[in-house]
Amino acid sequence: MTMDIRTVGVVGAGQMGNGIAHVCAVAGLDVRLNDISEEKLNQALATIDGNLARQVSRGGISDEERRRAMARIVAVKSYEGLGDCDLVIEAATENEEIKRKILVELCPLVRPDAILSTNTSSISITRLAAATDRPERFIGIHFMNPVPIMQLVELIRGIATEDATFEAARGFTGKLHKTTTVSEDFPAFIVNRILLPMINEAIYVLYEGVGSVESIDTAMRLGANHPMGPLQLADFIGLDICLSVMQVLHDGLADTKYRPCPLLVKYVEAGWLGRKTKRGFYDYRGEHPVPTR
């Protein structure tokens, strides 16, 4: 029988983790939100409350629904607090070593029948599953950012993922009123296999002096009808994440067309990671973003 997921654990209270917790709580699921930092947990709860309030102001949900959703989210400071979850989603930083360490530590502390999953945007599901004691009950559930707004979720099976696990994950995303697409377990899956090389190419266009930040983003917004320019989007995603995905593609597919642009590497080395550090291809420290090149 397919598991009916009612209680969800989320490891990592950053932008993706708090977004996942948000949509799960609105859908009526109980949520256990975990992070190594109590400060990040408090910030995440404040962010979720603020985002829910915006939904109320726009007529998406009622204020009573907002209060009920917040009441369903419990912050837990250790993995022991995830012991009663039906599904645990790892949503930590896009670093395979960190993710594997989390999964190894989680396994003895969650129910043997619980499903484990990862929100990775690029890393092999099969390799991550091999770090667990239940590869048949492990699956990739890749939400798009920002989670409360974006409709799509990619489901990615590892080589050992059982049908019951896949169906439970698909039923879970259905409860969230998300649309699913199914990807094979190849580097960066579908969305980022297409999106990140485009962003990387836009950075090469900047690097080679073909166009400025502003001209590149304007060209793609107005010439290709993109809602956001590729360099603006890179800042929104985080340049460290963009670099990580490109490195996974380059290493995993052994093709020079996926070589990260040296300018992207330089920005990450400088700590200019985009919106989250106030500087990337735009400088966000003033009233309005200003191109940095």
Q: Give the active site residues.
A: 121, 142, 154, 192
227, exposed or middle or buried, with CB in 10 Å at 0-12, 13-18, 19+? exposed
C-alpha closest to that of 261 among 288, 293, 284, 224: 293
State the DSSP H helix or E strand holding residue 207, giving kind and residue range, or none if neither.
Answer: helix 191-207
Amino acid at 173: T
Element (H, E) at 219: helix 213-223
Alpha-helical (H) ranges within the chain are 15-26, 38-57, 63-72, 96-106, 125-129, 163-175, 191-207, 213-223, 230-237, 239-253, 262-269
Q: What's the burial of 257, exposed, middle or buried (CB within 10 Å: 0-12/13-18/19+)?
A: exposed
- The angle formed by the CA atoms of residues 24, 67 and 45, to the nearest 5 degrees, is 60
- Using DSSP's 3-state secondary structure scheme, residue 114 falls into coil
3-class state of residue 205 by DSSP: helix
